[in-house]
A and B are shown apart, each in its own frame.
Chain A
C-alpha cells in the first residue's frame, strides 16, 4: 500500500516536472526582411556550394490590377499604423517590374545533398500584415514568427505535404519557431483573426532561392557549376520556368516576364 502511494506521488511529481520539449523562444532575429526587399537564401553550409550566380529581373507587362482595400476598422491597433487605407499587396508592380515573385532552383542540385541555413528566417506580423509576404526557407531551417502588433495573431500553415501548425501570439513581442521537414512550394500561411493576412513560404532542400524586390530584381548566389531549372512563382500569375547553365564563378541572367490579367 505504501509503495502504491509513493508511486502515485512520484507519478504526479514526474508529470508536473517533465513538461514537454522545451525549445525556448529566444531565436535570433537575423535575416528578417520587410516588404518586397530582395531576399536570398542564406548559408548553405553542408551541401555543395560554388560561386556562380543566377540573377535577373521580373518584368510586368499590361495593366497592373488594383490591390483590394483592407477593412481594418475592427482592429484599431493595426489600422492606426497606416496613414492611408491599407491594401492587400497581391501585386507589387512598379515601372513595369514585378516584386514578390519567388524564384528558385527546381532541379539541378544533386539529390541527397543536405543544406542547413546559416541563419533563421523571420516573418513579422506588423500592421496586421505579414512581412515578408513571400519568402523561402531551407528544409529543417528555423522560421521565427514574430508579433509586432499588440493584438492576437494566429499563424496557421496549411501545407499539402508537410505537417501544418496553428499557433497564436496574443501580444506584441512574442516569438515562436517552426520548421518544415519536407520540400514544398509554396506553403500558405494565414491568420484567422485577420482573414486578409496571407503569406507564402517556399520550402526547399537547398538555399538557392530568392524573392524579387520592388524593382523586380533577384539574385541566387553561391551556386555550384551546373545546369539548373529555374522557376518563378507569383501568387496570382502562376509559375514560369527556364533553364540556365553556369560555370564556376559565372553570373548568368534569367529574366521573366509576367503579364497582367486581361482587362
Chain B
C-alpha cells in the first residue's frame, strides 16, 4: 500500500461515506471506532485516575507529615479506614498500594500509550485510522471495567489491595497476613483484564505503523514520538502477558488452593518477584519512552531546529527497549537470589544508562543554536529533560549493588522513581496534552494559566521529591506508616512535614491545569490548523480533524524536523509539502562529514 515511488499520483480511498457522517451520537462518541475519540476517552479516564491516585498520595502524606493527627475529612471514612479521623495503618498500606497501582496502570500508562498512541499514530503517519478500529474500541471498553474493578476494592470487606503495587507474595497471596481478601483478588483480576486491553492496543499500533504509513513515510522519516510509541507497543505486547501470567498464578493461590508462591507446599516467593519484575522493568520503559519521543517532537518545534542526531535517537529508543529486558534483577538485589546474579544485573543496569544519556545530550544539541520559543509545551518538555536527568543520575546509585544494600526500600528509591515518573513522564504528559489539545478539541489552552501551572508545579514538585533523597540516605524506609517509631528517623520528621506541605501545594496546583483543561474546552480561543508551526501531518488538518482524517492520502517528502531549513523561507516545512523545485527534500540523516 505505502510506496516510496517518486512522482506517482497519490491514490485515494473511497471516502464517499466520510462526507456524510451519519453516525449516531452513541457511535460517534461512546462506542466509537475513531482513534481520535478513543484517544480522548482514554484521556478522560486516565485524568480521573490521576486525580484519584493523587488523592491517595495526599492521605499518605498527611499521615507522614502529621502522624497520628486526624485526616481532614477522615471522619467521613468508614471505621475500617480511620479511627476518630486518624488514618489506620491498614488504610495507609492500602493507600500506598492503590496510589502506585492507579498511577502506573490507570494513569501514566494509558495517558502515554492509550491517549497519545491512539491519537497520534494514524495522524502522524498519514493513515485514516488504526488497522483494527473495532479492536481499538474494544481496547478502551475493556480498560473501563478493569478500572472500575480496581476501584471496587475500596468498597468491599477488608478494603482494597494493601501489599504494595508490587504485590509481593506470600503477603499478597494470603489474606490471613493482610486482612484483605477480595481486594487482593480484584487487584489480580483487574490487571488481567487491563492486560487484555493493553495487548489489543499494542498489536493494533504495531500493525498500523508497519502497514499504514502514507507514501513517502519511510521508517526514518517517522517522528520520534511514533518511533517511541512503536517500540513501546512492542514492549507492551511482550511484557504484559508476563504480568498476566503472574497475576493468574497469584489469583489461583488466592482462590483455588494452589501453592505457586507458598514455600510450605513447594512454591517459591521469589518466583513472583522474577515474574513481576521481568514484566516490571520493561514496564518502566513503557512509562518513559513515549514521553521521550513526544518531548523530542516538541523540543525540535520550540527550538526551530532539527532533532540533533535523529538516527542515534532512534537507535537509543530501540536500545532502551531491547536492553530493558536484561535488567530486572536490579529490583531484587537484596531479595535472596543468588548473589552472582547481583553482579551480572549490576553491569547490565549500568549499561542501560548509556542510551538515556545519548538522548539527553541530543536534546541539549537540539536546543543549542536554536531560536527557542518558550511556549507552554516547550516549558514542560524542557522540565522533562532537566528532571529526567536527576532521576536518571539517581539511578546510578542503586545500580551499584553494594550501595543498593543501603538504599534499597528507602526513600532514595521513592525519590528516583518519582523523578523519572513525575519529573519525567508527567511533565511529558503535560507538554503533550497542551501541545495536542488544539488538535483534539479545536481550542487553545490558556497560555498564561498554563505558565502559572507550570512554574508552580516545577517548584512544588522539587520541594516534594528532592528531599526524599536525603531521607533515603538517612535510612528512612519505604511504606512505613509512622517513621517516628524509630529513634534514627524521629529527627527527620521536619523533612517529612515539609515534603507533605509541598505535596499538598503540588496537588492543589493541578486544579489549575484541570480548570484550564475544562474551561478551554468551552471557552478557549479557537485553534488554527497549525498553532505551533509544526511539520507533522496532523497539523495539515483542521482542528479537530474530521472522521477519516485525510481527504486524500498525503505523500511525504521529508522527515518531520526540517525546521529553519534553507529549502524554505519559513522556518518550517510540513512533511507533505513538495520541495520547491520538485523531487524530494533533504533527507533527515546526518550530512556526511559532520
Contacts and interface: CB of A to CB of B under 8 A. Distances in A.
Do chains A and B make direct contact within the complex (CB under 8 angstroms)?
yes
Contacts of A164: 176, 179
A5 B96 CA distance: 28
Contact of B89 (A5, A15, A170, A176): A170
A175 B80 CA distance: 11
B86 A20 contact: no
Contacts of B154: 20
A211 B493 CA distance: 47
B525 interface: no
B48 interface: yes
Contact of B78 (A23, A168, A170): A23
A22 B482 CA distance: 25
Interface string A150-165: 0010101010000111
Nearest to B155: A20
Contacts of A16: 55
Interface in B462-499: 481-482
A165 B48 contact: no
A170 B482 contact: yes
B186 to A, nearest CB: 14
A8 B45 contact: yes
Contact of B83 (A1, A5, A156, A169): A169
A25 B79 contact: yes
A22 B78 contact: yes
Contacts of B45: 8
Contact of A158 (B30, B52, B81, B176): B176
A177 B518 contact: no
Contact of B80 (A18, A152, A167): A167
Interface in B81-118: 81, 83-84, 86, 88-90
Interface string B65-80: 0001000000011111
B172 to A, nearest CB: 15
B25 to A, nearest CB: 9
Contact of B29 (A1, A163, A176): A1
B48 A8 contact: yes
Nearest to B180: A166
A13 B80 CA distance: 21
Contacts, number: 80
B24 to A, nearest CB: 14
Contacts of A156: 176, 179
Interface in A120-178: 152, 154, 156, 158, 163-171, 173-177
Given A20-B155, A167-B90, A4 B80 contact: no
A4 B76 contact: no
B151 A176 contact: no
B178 interface: yes
B337 interface: no
A248 interface: no
A80 B88 CA distance: 25
Given A23-B78, A24-B79, A174-B83, A167 B44 contact: no
A236 interface: no
A63 B84 CA distance: 47
A11 B48 contact: yes
Interface string A1-34: 1011100100110011011111111000000000
Contacts of B482: 170
B220 interface: no
Indicate the size class of the contact surface on chain A. Answer: 35 or more
Interface in A37-69: none
Nearest to A7: B44
Contacts of B155: 18, 20
Contact of B90 (A4, A15, A24, A168): A168
A152 B29 contact: no
B84 A25 contact: yes
A24 B521 CA distance: 42
Contact of A4 (B29, B77, B83, B518): B29
A20 B78 contact: yes
Nearest to B28: A1
B89 A166 contact: no
A165 B44 CA distance: 37
Nearest to A152: B89
A174 to B, nearest CB: 4
Interface string A171-195: 1011111000000000000000000
| Max chain A C-beta neighbours (<10 A), residue from B45, B55, B83, B89 | B83
Contact of A166 (B83, B151, B179): B179
B577 interface: no
Interface string B135-159: 0000000000000000100110100
A147 to B, nearest CB: 9
B68 A170 contact: yes
A23 B518 contact: no
Contact of A170 (B29, B79, B88): B88
Contact of B52 (A4, A12, A22, A175): A12
A8 B518 CA distance: 12
B184 to A, nearest CB: 13
A25 B83 contact: yes
A4 to B, nearest CB: 6
A191 to B, nearest CB: 13
Given A12-B48, A20-B80, A176-B79, A168 B88 contact: yes
8 contacts: A3-B29, A8-B48, A15-B52, A16-B55, A168-B89, A169-B83, A173-B84, A177-B79
Interface of B: 29-30, 40-41, 44-45, 47-48, 51-52, 55, 68, 76-81, 83-84, 86, 88-90, 151, 154-155, 157, 176, 178-179, 481-482, 518, 521
